[in-house]
Amino acid sequence: MSTATAAAPAATSLNQLEQLKQFTKVVADTGDFETMRAYQPQDATTNPSLILQAAQKPEYAALLTKSVQDNKSSGLSGAAQIERVMDHVLVNFGLEILKIVPGRVSTETDARLSFDTAGTLAKAHELIALYETAGISRERVLIKIASTWEGIKAAEVLAKEGIHCNLTLLFSLAQAVACADAKVQLISPFVGRIYDWHKAANKRDYVGAEDPGVQSVTVIYNYYKKFGHETEVMGASFRNTGEITELAGCDLLTISPDLLGKLAASNEPLVKKLDAATAKNSDIEKLPLDEKTFRFLQNEDAMATEKTADGIRKFSADIVKLEKLIAGLL
């Protein structure tokens, strides 16, 4: 594990969010546009749960209504029509986000396709086509896909087509190495959900560098930099600001509005903890992976197995709720 390599600014006139932005690209983990305007992140990520929350707020009703109206005369009906409206809802939120952030937006594929490589590819193509029809370059879009073997294989194909992906629900080094081998653009290791599992399993709390989620991302970051992988590491799913400050220096961190606010309210010095040059000297062995090895290592990791499955179930459930909302409007 790397140690601190660069000190924070001598003066603490900058708040922690401003200091963090000197080391790391800050990404907003929200579907709320006003939050993005307030904290000025580089990129923004969404998922079915965040879109469902936002879609039920009065200020976003127009986006939902527009998606429905635009597709009422599509000639489709039933599940096919609802699916088409859903795609437009996701992309319409993304289009609004891209008016605010200068960088990229992550738009998630249907979690129910997590074990369907061909289905994931088809959905990614549909989402990218909608963005490109709206005049948005694929360079500004990350297609979010669960880090299953099937999802990683879909992302590998998409990468060769110039479609960039964000591999989400990532909890293990095996998942991270498979993503790097597939040359995907970016991964989102879930710090907080790893912490949750270990806290419940071991009936104890974790603070700072001893946090298992922090340790997981640190190992992944060091592995990538040691072996020259270009896949970006974006820590995600934080439970407290301590997890964030321990990962200062990570390529990107996607942070919820509540924690963005806490960072902005603190003037405590922030030290860069992850460093690419230091990582090259990490004592990490290369992990050769094929499908059989990946599946075995994932199976041996109870936390990664349980949290990946749990995340897919929860995102799938929220997609169903959003579909019911759309069906009511249709």
Q: Side chain identity at 169, as an amino acid letter?
A: L
Angle, helices 117-133/78-98, rounded to nearest 10 degrees:
50
**Burial class of residue 12 (count of CB atoms within 10 Å of its CB; 0-12, 13-18, 19+):** middle
Question: Cα-flanking dihedrals φ and ψ of residue 203, to 5°?
Answer: 50, 50
> How far is it, in rounded angstroms, from Cα 247 to Cα 238?
11
Is 144 among the residues known to form the active site? yes
What the block records as the tokens of 77 is 């009906």
For 300, other C-beta atoms within 10 Å of its C-beta total 11
Q: Side chain identity at 86, as an amino acid letter?
A: M
* Per annotation, catalytic residue among 25, 72, 123, 144: 144
Residue owning tokens 């069906």? 327
> How far is it, in rounded angstroms, from Cα 184 to Cα 135?
24
> How far is it, in rounded angstroms, from Cα 8 to Cα 20?
9
Positions marked active-site:
144
